[in-house]
Amino acid sequence: MKRFSGDISLVLGGAAGQGVQTVEALLVSVLKREGYRVFACKEYMSRIRGGSNSTEIRITDTRRAAFVSRIDLLFAMDKDVVPHLKDRITKDTIILGEAVKISAGASEHIVDIPFTRFANELGNPIFTSTVAVGVALGILRASIEEFEQYLSEHFARKGEEIVEKNIQAARLGYDFGKHLAYDEGIEVHIKKDEAIKSELLLEGSDALGLGTLSGGCNYISSYPMSPGTTLLTYLAQHGAEFGVVVDQAEDEIAAINQGLGAWYAGARAIVTTSGGGFSLMTEGVSLAGMIETPIVIHIGQRPGPATGLPTRTEQADLNLALYSGHGEFPRVIFAPGTHEELFRLAHQAFQIADKYQIPVFLLTDQYLLDSVGSFQKKDFTFEPVEHHVIRTGAEYKRYVYAENGVSPRGIPGYGAGLVGLDSDEHDEEARITESHEVRRRMHGKRLKKLEGICEEALMPTEIGDAKHAETLVVCWGSNRGVVEESLEKAGNEALAALHFSQVYPLPAKAKKLFSKKKVVVLENNTGGQFANLLQLEYGIKISGNILQSDGAPFAVEDVIKKFKHL
């Protein structure tokens, strides 16, 4: 008897091009429609075909947003899955697949599912994905009617015959799954919640895209580079609906310069890339600093250096964003940790960039962008967009001195003024100068913006009783979910956590939270980049680091083990 209650981890594994992501999309959609809480995350190789990819789907009583190493049910679609995931497979893992294809060399017991025979009965191997979803739903004893309704809607445009074939495939798989669960003694007990049915099912890239649109974005120029490409793709798909101009530039240098040109002309632009692509943009970042033109830059982090692990995850580009561009000028760096934060901080990035006329960074990573969950609609409501452009008069000076550092920004053709700019040091009218006096005045004006920026810096999110805890675990970006769950399961009242969704500049008021605490920083890199920044900015002592940089996200089980030694 295998009994799963409150939390089950299903992993789907197969080669690229074999339909693993199709199975995930179908299964997650149907489970959510039935009222199950789901969270899914992917790992895949950088190959168009071949390799071995997997998707983990967690179905839980309590809302979760973290990766677990544990595999309860493993759907193995080819022979490479079991060797690929051997370190996560235990004696309690139930492996399901075509035994004739995957048992060679495997010591584990394989529960045979005749996918090929089922597909042949239906006349096309393309139906294997639908059969697989049916088997999973049958094991879970979910509703076949909900799946059939979903298939009718999803394949309606392909005609009645395709719809009927998919429904047949679903029933074949479902009936097999029900009998299999009975024969193997598999029982799954997960609570449903009617409220989940009306929630939004979103990938991280969807949430980021919605937030970008909420921020008033109407222009994107980028050169594709995973995982940042997902934002370019999202805006391309919805650009016509929201009035977004989408440009695939010839390279990253062109992309950021076109983004700056768009802001100068009155648009609200974003560029999206990964660390390797952003390396080419750094001259454009300092150009933005000198000409005081806003730009929003999304960096989807992945392991480096060079092309590194193109489809894996890491948090090693904080220093790259923090120190990019030569000279000194203000910037803001956000690092969302949840889908809700992806949406909210993307909106905020445009607000801050426009208000202070600076570059603003959004740091994400492959794990967060590719993760899937359901979320309340109220957390994704578009907010009003604030514009900080003035109609210029004849006497307008683009860089007129301002006590707060922010000169009124005009755009060409909106008013009678001449809107000059120059990448050299310049005076108030944008004329080149080498005057030491003017340099001191203009450089000081630009840096003056930091006062207002720091006043608006976001406080970290407190997880647990941070005030009374002896040890604070600090995390940033995508590790919020794994730290939240690990703290809860560790059950150590001496531990609490702080999650930073703004990593620069750090809020001055947050320094007091570290008083008389042991501080441990958890992050996906080897150098402790955020730990170093905390020490530099706050002058605090870091007692330890929990670091990982193998391309995989932190697993809840591993973090709990680390917490036991704190």
What's the CATH code of the domain at 558? 3.40.50.920
Report the pLDDT averaged over residues 346-364: 98
Residue type, 331: R
**Do 559 and 497 fall within a single domain?**
yes
**Do 439 and 490 fall within a single domain?**
no
- Residue range of the domain that includes 279: 201-380
Residue 132 has pLDDT above 80, yes or no: yes
Query: Under a CB-based contact definition with an 8 Å cutoff, are residues 553 and 67 in contact?
Result: yes
Q: What integer pLDDT is reported at residue 103 of this predicted model?
A: 67
Which of these three, 440, 456, 472, is where a domain ends?
Answer: 456
Residue 16 has pLDDT above 90, yes or no: no
Residue 460 has pLDDT above 90, yes or no: yes
Percent of the chain with pLDDT over 90: 87
* Residue 98, domain CATH: 3.40.920.10
- Count up the domains in the chain and report the number: 4
Report the pLDDT averaged over residues 384-400: 97
Q: What integer pLDDT is reported at residue 47 of this predicted model?
A: 74
The residue with tokens 């899955």 is: 81
**Do 194 and 215 fall within a single domain?**
no
Which of these three, 456, 486, 508, is where a domain ends?
Answer: 456
- Between strands 200-203 and 219-222, the pairing is unpaired
**Do 407 and 510 fall within a single domain?**
no
What pLDDT, in 10s, does the model give residues 465-479?
Answer: 999 999 999 999 999
What pLDDT, in 10s, does the model give residues 163-186?
Answer: 999 999 999 999 999 999 998 899
- Between strands 544-547 and 518-523, the pairing is parallel
Label residue 1 by pLDDT band (50, 70, 90). confident
Three-state DSSP state, 329? coil
Report the pLDDT averaged over residues 449-456: 97
Q: What integer pLDDT is reported at residue 106 of this predicted model?
A: 58
Report the pLDDT averaged over residues 398-403: 97
Label residue 15 by pLDDT band (50, 70, 90). confident
Residue 61 has pLDDT above 80, yes or no: yes
Residue 77 has pLDDT above 80, yes or no: yes
Q: What integer pLDDT is reported at residue 44 of this predicted model?
A: 87
Q: How far apart are CA 277 and CA 297, in angstroms?
A: 11
What pLDDT, in 10s, does the model give residues 93-121?
Answer: 999 998 887 865 556 778 999 988 888 88
Q: How far apart are CA 244 and CA 266, in angstroms?
A: 13
Total Cβ atoms within 10 A of residue 423: 12
Q: What integer pLDDT is reported at residue 433 of this predicted model?
A: 97
User: Looking at 80-84, 192-196, 220-224, 369-373, which range is the least confident one?
Assistant: 80-84
Q: How far apart are CA 301 and CA 283, in angstroms?
A: 19
pTM of structure: 0.96
**Do 224 and 259 fall within a single domain?**
yes
Report the pLDDT averaged over residues 558-563: 97
**Do 516 and 376 fall within a single domain?**
no
Label residue 246 by pLDDT band (50, 70, 90). very high
User: Looking at 119-128, 306-315, 388-397, 461-470, which range is the least confident one?
Assistant: 119-128
Q: How far apart are CA 342 and CA 203, in angstroms?
A: 11
Report the pLDDT averaged over residues 220-242: 96
Query: Under a CB-based contact definition with an 8 Å cutoff, are residues 357 and 293 in contact?
Result: yes
DSSP assignment of 86-122 equals TTT--TTPEEEE-HHHH-TT--S-EEE--HHHHHHHH
**Do 48 and 152 fall within a single domain?**
yes
Label residue 40 by pLDDT band (50, 70, 90). very high
Q: How far apart are CA 396 and CA 94, in angstroms?
A: 72
**Do 349 and 407 fall within a single domain?**
no
**Do 69 and 189 fall within a single domain?**
yes
- Work out the angle between the directed axes of helices 20-34 and 144-154 (0-180°, nearest 10): 120
**Do 41 and 58 fall within a single domain?**
yes
Q: What integer pLDDT is reported at residue 105 of this predicted model?
A: 53
Bigger pLDDT: 549 vs 102: 549
Q: What integer pLDDT is reported at residue 101 of this predicted model?
A: 79
**Do 194 and 290 fall within a single domain?**
no
**Do 421 and 360 fall within a single domain?**
no
Which of these three, 380, 409, 438, is where a domain ends?
Answer: 380
Distant-in-sequence, close-in-space partners of 364: CB < 8 Å, separation ≥ 6: 204, 208, 227, 298, 299, 300, 301, 335, 336, 342, 477, 478
